């Protein structure tokens, strides 16, 4: 049981590495000491399971709000579901520790210490990527996303979240090895690596301005418990329209972009009264103000969770099924589609919309006053490699990112800060500003470095205004995407194969 308790104790503070606490150094410390401590327990896979179960169990405990408070699942069943889900997530760090225990070199030599540092960093980042990819993935609480609030944020446009984490994990592992062995060659390797990181951060990332864009966002702050209540839909929409009128006034002089959050319209668009459809359209002014808003769209027998754009000159027949829109591609399991074999579980939940179709085709940015806005819905922007691929294949180079979300499912929990931090990391990776508009918060504007320039706190109805300056130009990571990470992992795998081959040859010879 020692392995279990050691792993659980190391995993429990994991969530503090992320926003709102943003103790980014704590996560790096934990993953640096984790292999050294758990290998001494003789059961590293159990320690890895305990670490992951503890880290993700504490980190996503806010899922209880969506499952119990708003989903209607009895509390004990909600906790049981979270325990099962986080146990699945824990398999990935457990596999990383098992592979490290199996393939790491004897640590007595400096060469062994360097090899082990590369191996551990590659295993951890690979299995973090796998956690965010396998079975549609869950990339939440990936340590690379915490780096946007660290002095090492300058690595993100070069190596992305996983690549930047790989570099720092190598240095962290070498640092622990140096403390344990105090060998000059390990110190030299650590110093050389640190110097390379320092120089890489200093390299300029060349982008150019695409022009200023005035933005007004609407944070409606409609609680999830009443958002889809048939008796309250009319009053909720009257509240949204009243806020929209204020937002339109804020743009009367300058024009620009007016933004409502995800599913601000709680009805499927084809079931929405025509007067409501035209109301959203008429917030736009042709050639002056553009509106984007979130709504479910029905097309034939398919339903999409979409962002719709209006210029203000759309005819009534064009409003029936809006064509200028972004359909969400990466859907949320259980919330937007039912995984195979889990209909019995979803049947226990109070989910108003549960079977969407994933969007397809190249991303088509919304063009507003010379700026091309790459749009995402809710947690689409937490998948770094997938997002980079989407941006790279878009029909036009985006100059800024816009994310529309409804995070009311998670109350006023840390989930709001965590999601915003991941979106801010996408801006830092691509050096493009971001616009975040949510139903209950957090909303605001982010510069190309991933830092808030306008931040609207959660839990309030508010019309807020600001400006973003779009940027043209691709970062090194934007050009390579997750191919860069696979190159890193492939190089370490090749190094591992060579070492294993030499070791077997040595054993045969002796």
Question: Mean pLDDT across the chain, nearest whole number?
Answer: 92
356 shares a domain with 218: yes
Q: Looking at residue 347, what is its pLDDT? A: 63
- Do residues 226 and 236 lie in contact, with contact meaning Cβ atoms separated by under 8 Å? yes
Structure confidence by residue, pLDDT tens digits, 342-352: 665 656 666 66
Is the same domain home to 268 and 153?
no
Kindly indicate the confidence band of residue 500, based on its pLDDT and cuts at 50, 70 and 90.
confident
Residue with tokens 């062994």: 112
DSSP 3-state of 265: strand
Angle between helices 24-39 and 110-131 (to 10 degrees): 120
Q: What is the pTM of this model?
A: 0.94
The domain that holds 334 is classified in CATH as 3.60.110.10
Contacts 24+ apart (CB under 8 A), 88-92: 89/52, 89/53, 89/56, 89/131, 89/138, 90/48, 90/49, 90/50, 90/51, 90/52, 90/53, 90/55, 90/56, 91/49, 91/52, 92/52, 92/127, 92/128, 92/130, 92/131
From residue 504, give the alpha-carbon distance in Å to each of 86, 107, 112, 241, 423: 38, 18, 16, 72, 46
Same domain, 160 and 297: no
Task: Name which of 94, 98, 101 is nearest 49 in CA terms.
Answer: 94
Length of the chain: 510
Percent share of the chain, pLDDT over 70: 96
Nearest to 268, CA basis, from 292, 239, 298, 308: 298
Contacts of residue 458, defined as CB under 8 A and 6 or more positions apart, other chains included, come to 407, 412, 416, 438, 440, 441, 442
State which of 190-204, 324-338, 354-368, 492-506 shows the largest mean pLDDT: 190-204
Separation between Cα atoms, residue 264 and residue 376, nearest integer Å = 15
Token pair 């209909």 in the structure block, residue = 343
Indicate if the pLDDT at residue 472 is higher than 80: yes
Q: Give the residue with greater pLDDT, 110 vs 171.
A: 171
Q: Please report the pLDDT score of residue 225 as a whole number.
A: 85
Same domain as 234, residue 270: yes
Q: Which backbone phi and psi does 429 adopt, to 5 degrees?
A: -65, -35
Q: Residue 317: its pLDDT value, please? A: 87
Question: Per-residue pLDDT tens for 21-72?
Answer: 999 999 999 999 999 998 888 888 999 999 999 999 999 999 999 999 988 8
CA distance 246 to 464: 10
What does the alpha-carbon distance between residue 489 and residue 487 come to, in Å, rounded to a whole number? 6
State the Cα–Cα distance between residues 80 and 61, nearest whole angstrom. Answer: 11
Q: Tell whether 292 and 413 lie within a shared domain.
A: yes
Nearest to 81 by CA among 349, 356, 411: 349
Q: Which residue blocks in 65-215 are alpha helix, DSSP H?
A: 75-103, 110-131, 156-181, 184-202
Check residue 330 and give its pLDDT.
86
Are 384 and 160 a contacting pair, CB within 8 Å? yes
Kindly state whether residues 235 and 331 are assigned to the same domain: yes
Does one domain contain both 177 and 234?
A: no
Q: What is the pLDDT of residues 199-249, one digit of tens each?
A: 999 999 999 999 999 999 999 999 988 888 888 999 999 999 999 999 999
The pLDDT-based confidence of 509 (bands split at 50, 70, 90) is confident
- CA dist 266 and 284 (Å) reads 20
Nearest in space to 269 (alpha carbons), one of 236, 241, 308, 313: 308
Range of the domain at 66: 2-204+481-509
Integer CA distances (angstroms), 149 to 28, 450, 458, in order: 13, 8, 20
Helix (H) / strand (E) element for 380: namely none
Q: Quote the number of domains for the chain.
A: 2
Summarize pLDDT for 296-324 with one digit per residue, the tens: 999 888 999 999 999 999 999 889 889 89
Helix, coil or strand: residue 248: helix
Are 146 and 245 in the same domain? Answer: no
End-to-end CA distance of the chain: 38
Q: Name the residue among 422, 433, 389 with its Cα closest to residue 161.
A: 422
Kindly state whether residues 488 and 460 are assigned to the same domain.
no
Task: Please give the share of the chain, as a percent, with pLDDT higher than 90.
Answer: 79
> Binning pLDDT at 50, 70 and 90, where does residue 353 land?
low
The count of C-alpha atoms lying within 13 angstroms of the C-alpha of 360, restricted to the half-sphere facing its C-beta, is: 5
pLDDT average, residue stretch 353-364: 85
Contact between 489 and 463 (Cβ < 8 Å): no
The whole-number pLDDT of residue 356 equals 87
User: Can you name the residues that pair with 268 across neighbouring β-strands?
Assistant: 296
Residue 150 has pLDDT above 80, yes or no: yes
The predicted pLDDT at position 306 comes to 94
Name 469's bridge partners: 212
**Same domain flag for 222 and 310:** yes
Whether residue 171 is predicted with pLDDT greater than 90 in this model: the reply is yes
| Predicted local confidence at residue 341, as pLDDT | 65
Q: Is the confidence at residue 291, as pLDDT, over 80?
A: yes
pLDDT of residue 337: 67
Say which DSSP state 219 is in. E
Measured CA to CA, the distance from residue 215 to residue 203 in angstroms comes to 31
Specify whether 502 is located in the same domain as 415.
no
Residues 246 and 162 occupy one common structural domain: no
pLDDT at residue 381 tops 90: yes
């Amino acid at each position: 049981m020692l392995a279990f308790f050691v792993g659980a104790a190391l995993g429990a503070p994991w969530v503090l590495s992320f926003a709102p606490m943003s103790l980014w150094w704590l996560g790096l410390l934990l993953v640096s000491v984790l292999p050294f401590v758990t290998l001494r327990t003789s059961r590293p896979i159990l320690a890895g399971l305990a670490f992951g179960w503890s880290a993700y169990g504490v980190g996503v405990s806010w899922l209880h709000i969506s499952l119990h408070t708003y989903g209607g699942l009895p509390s004990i069943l909600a906790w049981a579901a979270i325990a099962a889900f986080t146990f699945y997530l824990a398999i990935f760090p457990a596999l990383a520790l098992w592979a490290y225990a199996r393939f790491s070199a004897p640590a007595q030599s400096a060469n062994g210490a360097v090899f082990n540092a590369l191996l551990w960093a590659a295993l951890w980042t690979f299995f973090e990527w796998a956690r965010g990819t396998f079975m549609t993935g869950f990339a939440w609480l990936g340590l690379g996303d915490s780096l946007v609030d660290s002095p090492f944020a300058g690595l993100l446009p070069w190596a992305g979240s996983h690549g930047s984490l790989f570099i720092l994990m190598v240095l962290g592992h070498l640092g622990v090895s140096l403390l344990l062995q105090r060998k000059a060659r390990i110190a030299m390797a650590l110093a050389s690596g640190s110097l390379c990181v320092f120089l890489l951060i200093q390299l300029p990332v060349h982008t150019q301005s695409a022009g200023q864009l005035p933005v007004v966002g609407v944070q409606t702050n409609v609680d999830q418990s009443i958002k889809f209540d048939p008796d309250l839909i009319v009053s909720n929409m009257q509240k949204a329209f009243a806020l929209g009128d204020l937002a339109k006034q804020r743009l009367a002089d300058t024009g620009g972009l007016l933004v409502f959050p995800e599913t601000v319209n709680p009805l499927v668009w084809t079931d929405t009264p025509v007067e409501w459809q035209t109301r959203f359209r008429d917030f736009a002014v042709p050639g002056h103000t553009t509106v984007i808003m979130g709504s479910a769209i029905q097309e034939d027998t398919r339903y999409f969770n979409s962002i719709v754009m209006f210029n203000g000159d759309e005819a009534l027949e064009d409003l029936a099924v809006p064509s200028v829109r972004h359909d969400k591609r990466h859907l949320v399991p259980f919330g937007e589609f039912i995984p195979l074999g889990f209909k019995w579980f979803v049947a226990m939940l109070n989910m108003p919309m549960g079977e969407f179709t994933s969007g397809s085709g190249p991303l088509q940015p919304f063009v507003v006053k010379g700026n091309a806005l790459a749009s995402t819905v809710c947690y689409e922007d937490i998948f770094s490699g997938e997002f980079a691929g989407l941006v790279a294949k878009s029909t036009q180079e985006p100059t800024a990112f816009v994310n529309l979300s409804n995070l009311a499912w998670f109350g006023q929990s840390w989930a709001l800060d965590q999601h915003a931090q991941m979106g801010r990391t996408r801006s830092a990776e691509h050096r493009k500003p971001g616009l975040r508009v949510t139903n209950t918060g957090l909303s605001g504007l982010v510069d190309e470095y991933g830092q808030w320039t306008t931040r609207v706190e959660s839990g309030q109805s508010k019309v807020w205004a600001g400006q973003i300056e779009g940027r043209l130009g691709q970062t090194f990571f934007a050009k390579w995407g997750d191919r860069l990470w696979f190159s890193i992992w492939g190089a370490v795998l090749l190094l591992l194969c060579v070492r294993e081959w030499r070791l077997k040859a040595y054993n045969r010879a002796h």
